[in-house]
Amino acid sequence: MKKFIGVKLVDAKPMTRGEYNILRGWELPADEDGTDEGFLKDNGHGHIQWDPSDTFDKQYLHIAGENNTITQVDVNAMTEKVHLQTIKPNSRGSLVTVVTVTLKNGFTLTETSSCVDPANYDESIGFDVCMEKINNKIWFLLGFLLQSGLYGFSGERY
């Protein structure tokens, strides 16, 4: 079999397994727990489905913006870990700030910043410069993801 990547935008709300069964008019099977937390999701084409929370959280990212926009809240929420390091890459006394950010999905972004005169080096300024570059990359990546969720990979709205 070939591998495919799928991205879709769905509307969803928290709902237990029991509540979903009631909504569908189904009787809860004896071997299922009706208090299991999950999400009712609607893909916008009349197809609704319930996913357990752990399954849903692996497949979907909440977007805080309305009207198909990415917000700073979304960008900040993607950051899981930040690593800051100052390095001396050569014998001339140069100092370089290196910031690596690990995103929620494990993807990493790295940026650097340096100054002309090591006497003027300020790690906090270097950090801020790197984080601005990284945040701009996250905006770009989330924009791509949202565009793919809205229009798929064919460019046509679902």
Q: Is residue 157 part of a domain?
A: no
Residues 49, 108, single domain; the answer is: no
What is the distance between the terminal CA atoms of the chain, rounded to a whole angstrom?
A: 25
Dump strand ranges (E) for 46-107: 48-52, 79-87, 96-103
What are the tens digits of pLDDT across the range 121-142?
999 999 999 999 999 999 999 9
Residue 158's pLDDT is what? 58
Output the pLDDT for position 38.
97
Task: Please give the tally of structural domains in the chain.
Answer: 2
Work out the percent of the chain whose per-residue pLDDT is above 90.
78
| Residues 89 and 115 grouped into a single domain | yes
Q: Do residues 132 and 109 make contact, with C-beta atoms less than 8 angstroms apart?
A: no
User: What pLDDT digit, counting tens, does each position of 12-64 carry?
Assistant: 999 999 999 999 999 999 999 999 999 999 987 789 999 999 999 999 999 98
Residue 30 in any domain: the answer is yes
